[in-house]
């Protein structure tokens, strides 16, 4: 008799964004004439920039000729891309990395989930609340989360509120934890930490031999000074942090798939007997066994993001989304809504009006205004009473959404 991984049976019905898609589809089927504006999942709408497209075409041509055809590539990624990553994303910020500390992958979502493979099952894991659901769901799957109580909390996870009450600056945990997920700029709230605030987490991790899993997928949207782009800008972080970066939101690769994860060689975790083990070695071992690398064509496309033209074109796209974010943020504020995010992030986090629950507000927005957003409670109990909009729509749709909201009676 084949047994299932019963941890999966503990997971709530479906993944947040699948649930939303299902509800929107049902509404669309019942109301085919409705002009739905989708500002729910953080998926980009602008096409790949010309420099990236050209690099992809060129790479396809290379693959069509025996002399330049490539089969399996290095599981860790091609050196031509890794060198550009180090040279452009880290060196200018004073961070030196070796090429074998960077692992190219098919997405930060996969890496944030897969990283659990190399971490012990008995680690106590801390997450922000609200939080990107992948961190929690993958720990449930692995058996680290325990069981879900009626308040919506997993009893083995440590929740750290990141709410209006603490001005979206999470406090250090009041009990010892081993693994900490941090996402800054934050998904879903769109808020950030300053260097000093992030340093407190690095210091905590160093003091407690804990590991920070730092998700920096939205780094390209940082506009303000004093907001760290990489956790390695903080002294000591190489001894306690893994960083996840993605081309998805930076360069429109949500459908193309390319990301990378940095696992410094200094970073150790421990056996039950207390012997240090290099996580870089373990992650390399894991990737070589379970992953065969990102397609050559895609890595050439990602490399083009770092060319002079590529950088300029990608920056323009990010600026376009940031302008959307500003329009949404200001439009909501004019309606008297309480809003954070959208300054260093493509996400705008708003308090639902009239004390509506997140899902009631979702239904109101969908059925009355034909706008799709994401209910805050889908990101955790502290997200209740909040709602997330993304700035990744077209300008036209963002403006139309604001017009609809302006005319709304909540």
Q: Taking CB under 6 A as the criterion, which residues in 43-62 touch ligand MLT? A: 43
State the nearest-atom distance from the C-beta of 374 to ligand MLT, in Å. 7
Measured at the CA of 75, the angle between CA 73 and CA 80, to 5 degrees, comes to: 60
CB of 197 to ligand MLT, least distance (A): 22
Which structure tokens are listed for 109? Answer: 């979502």
- Applying the rule CB under 6 A, the residues between 15 and 34 that interact with ligand MLT are none
Alpha carbons 328 and 41: distance in angstroms, whole number = 16
Contact set for ligand MLT, span 174-203 (CB under 6 A)? 187
Q: Does 399 bind ligand MLT (CB under 6 A)?
A: no
Question: Does 375 help bind ligand MLT (rule: CB under 6 A)?
Answer: no
Q: What minimum distance in Å lies between the beta carbon of 58 and ligand MLT? A: 28
Shortest distance (Å) from residue 42 CB to ligand MLT: 3
Closest CA to 258 of 312, 190, 305: 305
DSSP 173: P
Give the residue with the Cβ less far from ligand MLT, 187 or 344: 187
- Binding span for ligand MLT by CB under 6 A among 39-47, 78-86, 277-285, 293-301: 39-47
Compose the 350-369 pattern: x for residues touching ligand MLT by CB under 6 A, - for all others.
--------------------
Angle in degrees, CA 145, 148, 153, rounded to 5: 85
356, burial (CB in 10 Å: exposed 0-12, middle 13-18, buried 19+): middle
| Nearer to ligand MLT among residue 264 and residue 346 (C-beta) | 346
Task: State the minimum distance, in angstroms, from the CB of residue 283 to ligand MLT.
Answer: 20
Residue 341 in contact with ligand MLT, rule: CB under 6 A: no
> Shortest distance, CB of residue 221 to ligand MLT, whole angstroms?
13
CB atoms < 10 A from the CB of 62, how many? 15
Minimum distance from residue 129 beta carbon to ligand MLT (Å): 15
Distance between CA atoms of 389 and 348, rounded to whole angstroms?
A: 5
41 sits near ligand MLT (criterion: CB under 6 A):
yes
Q: What is the CA radius of gyration of the chain?
A: 21
**Mask of contacts with ligand MLT, 105-134, x by CB under 6 A?**
----x----------------------x--
- Bridge-partner residues for 388, per DSSP? 349, 374
344/322 Cα distance (integer angstroms): 8
In angstroms, give the least distance from the CB of 85 to ligand MLT.
19
Residue sitting closest to ligand MLT (CB): 42
CA distance 125 to 156: 8
Residues with Cβ < 8 Å from 101, sequence gap 6 or more? 262, 263, 264, 265, 280
If one asks whether residue 257 binds ligand MLT (CB under 6 A), the answer comes out as no
Side-by-side strand order, sheet with 386-390: 339-341, 347-351, 386-390, 374-375
| Bridge partners, 159 (sequence order) | 127
Main-chain dihedrals φ then ψ at residue 292, nearest 5 degrees: -110, 25
| 361/367 Cα distance (integer angstroms) | 10
Which of residues 20, 37, 38, 42 is near ligand MLT by CB under 6 A? 42
Eight-state DSSP code of residue 152: S
Whose tokens are 């503990």? That residue is 10
Q: Choose the binding region for ligand MLT from 38-46, 122-130, 256-264, 323-331 (rule: CB under 6 A).
A: 38-46
Give min distance, CB of 217 to ligand MLT, in A.
7
Residues facing residue 339 across a β-bridge: 350
Residue placing its CB nearer to ligand MLT in the complex, 310 or 376: 376
> How many CB atoms sit inside 10 A of residue 225's CB?
7
Q: Is the Cβ of residue 284 or residue 358 nearer to ligand MLT in the bound state?
A: 358
Which of these segments, 41-49, 226-234, 269-277, 402-410, binds ligand MLT (CB under 6 A)? Answer: 41-49
- Residues in contact with ligand MLT, counted by CB under 6 A, come to a total of 6
Where along the sequence are the contacts to ligand MLT (CB under 6 A)? Answer: 41-43, 109, 132, 187
């Amino acid at each position: 008799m084949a047994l299932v991984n019963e941890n999966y049976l503990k997971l709530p019905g479906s993944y947040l964004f699948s649930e939303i898609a299902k509800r929107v589809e049902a509404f669309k089927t019942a109301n085919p004439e409705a002009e739905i504006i989708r500002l729910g999942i953080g998926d980009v709408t602008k096409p790949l920039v010309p420099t990236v497209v050209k690099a992809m075409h060129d790479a396809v041509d290379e693959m069509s000729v025996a002399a330049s055809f490539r089969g399996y590539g290095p599981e860790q990624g091609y050196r031509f891309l890794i060198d550009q990553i180090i040279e452009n994303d880290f060196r200018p910020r004073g961070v030196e990395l070796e090429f074998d500390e960077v692992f190219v992958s098919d997405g930060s979502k996969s890496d944030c989930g897969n990283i659990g493979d190399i971490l012990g099952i008995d680690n106590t894991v801390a997450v922000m609340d609200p939080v990107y659901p992948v961190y929690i769901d993958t720990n449930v799957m692995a058996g680290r989360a325990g069981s879900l109580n009626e308040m919506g909390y997993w009893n083995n996870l440590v929740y750290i509120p990141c709410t209006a009450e603490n001005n979206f600056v999470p406090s250090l945990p009041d009990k010892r934890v081993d693994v900490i997920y941090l996402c800054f700029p934050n998904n879903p709230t769109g808020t950030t930490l300053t260097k000093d605030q992030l340093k407190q987490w690095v210091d905590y991790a160093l003091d407690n031999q804990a590991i920070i899993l730092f998700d920096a997928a939205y780094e390209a949207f940082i506009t303000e000074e004093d907001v760290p782009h990489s956790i390695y800008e903080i002294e000591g972080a190489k001894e306690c942090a893994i960083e996840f970066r993605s081309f998805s939101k930076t360069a429109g690769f949500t459908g193309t798939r390319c990301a990378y994860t940095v696992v410094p060689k200094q970073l150790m975790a421990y056996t039950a007997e207390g012997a240090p083990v290099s996580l870089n070695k373990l992650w390399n071992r894991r990737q070589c066994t379970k992953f065969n690398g990102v397609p050559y064509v895609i890595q050439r496309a990602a490399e083009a993001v770092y060319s002079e033209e590529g950088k300029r074109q990608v920056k323009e796209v990010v600026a376009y989304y940031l302008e959307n974010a500003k329009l949404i943020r200001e439009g909501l504020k004019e309606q008297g809504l309480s809003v954070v995010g959208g300054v260093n992030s493509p996400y705008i986090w708003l308090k639902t009006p009239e004390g509506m629950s997140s899902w009631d507000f979702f239904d109101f927005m969908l059925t009355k205004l034909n706008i799709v957003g994401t209910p805050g409670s889908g990101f955790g109990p502290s997200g209740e009473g909040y709602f997330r909009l993304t700035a990744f729509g077209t300008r036209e749709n963002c403006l139309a959404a604001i017009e609809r909201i302006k005319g709304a009676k909540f």
